[in-house]
Amino acid sequence: MSEHRPVAPPRVSSRTDPAASIADRFDFWLFDFDGTVVDTEWWYVESLLEEVSAAVGQPLSPEESYEFWHGIGGPRTGLLAGWGIDPPAFWAALDRIEDPTERAAATYLHDDAEQLITRLQHESVPIGVVTHSPPQLAAAVQSALGLEGTFDAFVSCSDTLGWKPDPDPVYHAIEALGVSAADAGVLVGDGDADLGAAWSAGLRFIHIDRHGHERRGHCVLGDHRLRDLTLCL
């Protein structure tokens, strides 16, 4: 954890113009990956979680599957424990059963994320990813969707590096981008952990709300809350 790093206030970009689009207000951009840039077809999720929950002897209801997959209702480990499922056993079964190639084949790129990323690339704005997806899974998805080389930095969280909302993975991505500490950055994500990581690292935060606060049960109050990333353009 980053107990020795002070929380920096969000920086204001020299590029900022109050009349400018959101896309033009930041010197670099970081994105969460699953649920933000890409998503997985629900038929695949249902099949996978049905097999995993059977392996641990505790079936998940359709609503529990939805909450778990999208991280709605709190950290996933806490959700599992609350449902009477042993988290280490569940995670081990998931790692054993899920095939990265099959997952990648069932994954699609969000149109609004593609448009925003294309705009940023066109303007040579540094962009990176900070994700909880393990490297082998993230690599398979990038390959299947033709995203290899799209991002200037791609960081997978881990027990060594830390997990969002710990800001260490964000600091790691910023370093990999080679941007200046004086630059203003933003992180785009779909959950509370993304918000915590962004603000703890001194970045602005855009919440892409793909599920609605009604289903989540609360609002994720970042600097911007959008239902469509094309609103940044």
Q: How far is CA 124 from CA 12, 20, 144, 188, in A?
A: 19, 17, 24, 18
Listed by start position, the domains of the chain span 22-39+108-232, 42-104
The CATH classification number of 22-39+108-232 equals: 3.40.50.1000
- Please check whether residue 198 is in contact with residue 187, taking contact to mean a CB–CB distance below 8 angstroms: yes
- Please check whether residue 208 is in contact with residue 29, taking contact to mean a CB–CB distance below 8 angstroms: no
Q: Residue-wise pLDDT tens for the chain (233 aa)?
A: 444 444 555 555 545 566 689 999 999 999 999 999 999 999 999 999 999 999 999 999 999 999 999 988 788 999 999 999 999 999 999 999 999 999 999 999 999 999 999 999 999 999 999 999 999 999 999 999 999 999 999 999 999 999 999 999 999 999 999 998 679 999 999 988 999 999 999 999 999 998 876 666 666 778 998 999 999 99
In terms of Cα–Cα distance, which of 3, 31, 32, 29 is closest to 15?
29
Q: How far is CA 53 from CA 93, 95, 104, 107, 114, in A?
A: 8, 12, 21, 21, 33
